[in-house]
Amino acid sequence: MEQFPTHDPTWNRKLILTLWWILIIYEVAATIALCFEINEQPSNWFNSFMRFQLYPTMLQLLLMGIGYLSMHYLKSYSEFIMILWTMTMVSIFILCIPEMTHSYQLLCMPILLASIYFHKKYVIFAYSLGAACLFILLLIQKEQGQTTTPYEIIVSLTTLSATSMLCFTIMSRGLDLLAKLKHSVIREQDLLIRNVMIDRLSKVDALTELFNHRSFQEHTDHLISHMPHDTALELALMDIDNFKYINDNYGHWVGDVVLKTIGSILKEVLGPDDMSFRYGGEEFAVLFVGKSHQDVLVICEKIMESIRETVIPEMPDQRLTMSIGLATYNRNTMKKAWFQLVDECLYTAKRNGKNRIHVHASDIQVQIAE
């Protein structure tokens, strides 16, 4: 059976507070009874005070002090100490209060207390301690001249046993519910992880680990709808030059290496405010937010320089270059028209010799040094 963690100081502090409340309630009840005693038997009130209030209170306070010291110095046995503490408190009440002389069923209270720890050993200890205290109480009361019938002894032992069995049943049910709850939490966590992975797979390109075309459309729509009107937004479409030649001559697996390399370069060069996407095939897209046109040009030139300086081991003789089309978003222009504008800039760069940036804003060609 699965168990709860042991040595929980929080619960033990709560139990000690409960014992204090029990003692306070007893003191209040004893004081009220003493008032009635003074009213009915003025000559006998002092004996009643000594026997039913002072002596039990002193014993309980002594027990509290011993309990605190034991809990402080024997922390690893704190649960056993709490059970022993409670059992002793109950025994003092049975011995000192005449109305409770034969209330041996109170010895079940420490057994119930032991069940909150959800460990069998504590219930077994409380049951054994309760049976031992029962026989000690019987011996003390016999010495005091009090009689107890066999029926009372049998009923008391039966009550202790039944309480222990009930505690085992409650603990078993509680631990079963705990196991089901843990299983449910684990399933929910697995489902959440799977959903996150599925969502990531639906938005991220598996090869380059960049966001895919779907994410590009969603993110662009979000930016256009929510960004401030004075925030600059530029789109760069990038196409690997001679990619078909690379696939045909070196193989598609080398083409995949090239795509992964481009993805790594984009992630390395771009800042946290810029988002890169695998637009499709050998095309990539980058959204620049809140940057001046000159800053965007500098970043694009840096990307092209990094790509040009990259050597793919699988094709050492093949130079890697890229063409880029760039255009600024105009709020008076539809998104589709903006995309077409950038696409035209890209193909203009291709037609004009590749390995260059074509900017629509002022029809300036930025030639990357060979």
Region at 355 (left for phi over 0; alpha for psi -120 to 50; beta for the rest) = left
Task: Convert the pLDDT of each residue in 311-334 to its tens digit.
Answer: 998 888 888 999 999 999 988 888
Residue with tokens 């992630």: 267
pLDDT of residue 200: 65
Predicted pLDDT at 345: 94
Q: Based on the number of CB atoms within 10 Å of its own CB, is 303 exposed (0-12), middle (13-18) or buried (19 or more)?
A: buried
Least confident of 66-70, 95-99, 208-212, 273-277: 95-99
- How many CA atoms lie within 13 Å of 82's alpha carbon, on the beta-carbon side? 30
SS3 38: helix
| For residues 218-240, average pLDDT | 89
Predicted TM-score (pTM) above 0.85 = no
CA 167 from chain center: how many Å?
31
pLDDT over 50 at 253, yes or no:
yes
Helix segments in the chain, DSSP class H: 9-40, 45-49, 55-73, 78-96, 109-115, 120-143, 150-203, 213-226, 243-250, 252-269, 293-309, 335-351
* Range with the poorest average pLDDT among 4-13, 76-85, 289-298: 4-13
Q: Positive or negative CA dihedral for 358, 362, 367, 368?
A: negative
Over range 94-121, report the average pLDDT.
84
Residue 363 is predicted with a pLDDT of 40
Q: What percent of the chain has pLDDT over 70?
A: 92
Q: What is the mean pLDDT of residues 111-122?
A: 88
By the 8 A CB rule, do 26 and 93 touch? Answer: yes
Model confidence at 244, in pLDDT bands (50, 70, 90)? very high
CA distances from 169 to 106, 108, 199 (A): 20, 15, 45
Q: Spell out the residues 6+ positions from residue 13 whose beta carbon is closer than 8 angstroms to its own.
A: none
Mean pLDDT across the stretch 177-184? 87
> Could you tell me what percent of the chain has a pLDDT over 90?
32
Contacts of 157 (CB under 8 A, 6+ apart): 131, 134
SS3 238: strand
Rounded to an integer, what is the distance from CA 104 to the centroid of its chain?
A: 46
pLDDT reading at 71 higher than 50: yes
Dist. CA 269–CA 303, nearest whole Å: 7
Give me the mean pLDDT over the 243-263 stretch.
92
Residue 337 has pLDDT above 50, yes or no: yes
So what's the pLDDT on residue 339? 92
pLDDT at 162: 92
Nearest to 215 by CA among 194, 233, 200: 200
What is d(CA 174, CA 21) in angstroms, rounded to the nearest whole number? 27
Mean pLDDT for all residues in the chain: 85
Per-residue pLDDT at 288 = 93
User: 24-65: per-residue pLDDT in tens?
Assistant: 888 888 788 778 777 777 777 777 677 777 888 888 888 888
What is residue 361's predicted lDDT score, i.e. its pLDDT? 58
pLDDT at 4: 54
In tens, the pLDDT along 120-159 reads 899 999 999 999 999 998 888 888 878 778 888 888 899 9
pLDDT class of 355 with cuts at 50, 70, 90: very high
CA–CA gap between residue 369 and residue 148 (Å, rounded): 110
Inter-residue contact 322 to 240 (CB < 8 Å): yes
The confidence score (pLDDT) of residue 228 equals 84
Q: By three-state DSSP, how is residue 29 classified?
A: helix
